[in-house]
Chain A
Amino acid sequence: MRYIFVIFSLVLLTFSAGLAQVDTLGVDSILLNIAPPSPISNLTVYDKANDHGHALILEWTPSPDDGAGMNTVMLYEIFRSESPDSPFVNVGSVPLGNSRYDNIGILEKESRDYIPDNTDLYYRVDAVTINPEVRASSEVFGPVRSYSNWFHRGRVPVLLAVLIFGGLMMYFVTVARKGAELYVRPLAGISAVDDAIGRATEMGRPILYIFGLGTADMISTIASFTILSRVAKQVAEYQTQLIVPCYDPIVMTVAQEVVKSSYLDAGHPDAYNDDMVFYITTNQFAYVAAVNGIMLRELPATNIYMGKFYAESLILAETGAVAGSIQIAGTDEVGQLPFFIIACDYTLIGEELYAASAYLGREPIMLGSLKAQDYAKAAVIILSILGIIAANFGLTAFTNIFKVLD
């Protein structure tokens, strides 16, 4: 669905780009008597940092007639050329009051807006009045070159955070592997999963497992696969029925694989068949309509919602409540958490969804990563307290260490 959206927006963009090629300003007879404004001064052009090249930044001191003086400047037009003598080409314009223009090139060589890398370029900025004929050109700046960068300096804080967090995790995983006892506090939603499977077995009714609208490239869906593998293993041991309707074909494929292996691990490979995990449709409300139908017809003892959910969360959870199922939800979609909390029996809030796989497995290695997450949270708390103190004493140098530039 996201892809389709992207494609539609691209189509729209191309369409509006076509519209944009209309001549905006025409000349009228009333405009002939405008005196030429003063030109801009101090034009500097430099390569845009931390980018893929093909982009330069221009800065200048605005014309004295911009918003003051004769007050005639309407916009600035930017011109570029590959040599100071050859004709300059208009590459863009900004309205009055601006003193900066980012000349971002397009990567296609055939495009008019392509800016070659590692080539000498020359720039000029014109202050233009309402009559495009009346303008003042600045002096030519150049030569200047644009470069492609191999390393993004503004993202150093992210790199450090990833490395430190990864290191913490490796450390605790090794510690756990050596057999150290790691404590984790009990989570109500997790123990409910075990009870719910038992309840379904007693009642002889199926378990409904729903991934929501997540595609397989979302981490919440990947976490949900792990939870499904634990659930499926228990379901296989208890010989209960499992229903997994899917929204995304890849999620369906992976889920089939997951359930199949879990049945194999539980020693009941013959109890598995591919129709337990099936595809419905990649359309939010059509999917919801079908799942609602399943809920009221199969009357599952337990509904487990794990993954990415949008507006359908409440429709599903309310219908599940009507069917009298025990409902356990977990999502990282903050906007939908209130609805799950209200309509479900147990809800895993945000991070608890990611912790669930470790909890359900009870493998020491997995618990090691929870420990790393806790240390990272402690670091966030301490750093933000330090940061607040520093910021209020004017030590912006400290807070700026953590600033990420895009």
Chain B
Amino acid sequence: MKRQIPVFLVFIFGVFMVFQYFSPHEASEWVYKFLMDWIYIIGIFAMALGIWSLIHVSYDKIKHKRHDWGYSVVTLAALFIMTFFGITGFNENGDWGFYFMTQEGLTNPMFLNFFNYILVPIETTMFSLLAFFIASAAYRAFRARNVLASMLLVSALIVMLRFNPYFGDAFAFYMNKTAAWLLNVPNMAAKRAILIGIGLGMVGTALKVVLGIERGYMGKG
């Protein structure tokens, strides 16, 4: 029972959604939107599980004084402070208070400061680490070990040299043109082949899930 009902639910809703796609009727669209709301709302409720997991893991670390447990205090403190600022704030009269149903918390100056001066700088800096990793990855991996690796290397080099002004105008012109060609022709072919393959793989996997052949998502292999 514990396993049959979920498989049955997947089947019913999966098949319904497949056929819904072919019916643009108002009623069918309404059901589609409503079911999308289900997914969304289930997702929000699940957030509580996520936050609980984060608190639980951090608390465990602190309780057992595991290695680096001090940093978990930082995580927990940041989590609670951010949540607190997000539900408190000043309304238009300047009164401070808890606001659950209205969005005063989102304009709380401390909430915005945490967002602008902690979250944003760390996020963008993490992102900019890519400048370094792309360099080290290129150095480490671009070796002409065999034909396959050489092709990767040569086409990357041509595209990287496309705006180099040092070897004369004619060189730059042809590099530019070759780079554009590489991006529009072989890259396009590669993308299209992969996309068609992925499409079939996706539909195949989804069909297996809907028909109950594939139950890996419930741990039943």
**Which residues in A have some Cβ–Cβ distance to B below 8 Å?**
3, 50-54, 107, 117, 148-152, 155, 158-159, 162, 165-166, 169-170, 173, 215, 217, 219-220, 222-223, 225-230, 233, 246, 248-250, 252-254, 257-262, 264-265, 274-275, 278-286, 288-289, 297, 311, 314-315, 317-319, 321, 332, 334, 337-339, 341-343, 349-351, 353-355, 357, 361, 365-366, 369-370, 372-373, 376-377, 380
Contact = CB atoms under 8 A, between A and B. Distances in A.
22 contacts: A50-B24, A53-B26, A151-B22, A222-B209, A250-B42, A257-B219, A264-B219, A265-B219, A278-B56, A279-B53, A283-B119, A286-B122, A317-B137, A334-B195, A337-B194, A338-B152, A354-B198, A354-B202, A357-B216, A369-B207, A369-B213, A372-B204
Interface stretch (B90-98, B138-146, B162-170, B173-181): B138-146
Interface residues of B, number: 68
B22 A377 contact: no
B122 to A, nearest CB: 7
A345 to B, nearest CB: 11
Nearest to A259: B219
B63 interface: no
B218 interface: yes
Contact of B201 (A3, A152, A288, A373): A373
B101 interface: no
A170 B18 CA distance: 17
Interface in B165-221: 191, 194-198, 200-209, 211, 213-214, 216-221
B81 interface: no
Chain B, interface SS category:
helix
B202 A219 contact: yes
A128 B124 CA distance: 50
A77 to B, nearest CB: 28
Chain A, interface SS category:
helix
B218 A217 contact: no
Nearest to A249: B50
B43 A215 contact: yes
A228 B218 CA distance: 11
B23 A151 contact: yes
Contacts of A225: 216-217
B12 interface: no
A351 B26 contact: no
Given A169-B204, A229-B221, A283 B197 contact: no
B127 interface: yes
A217 B14 CA distance: 12
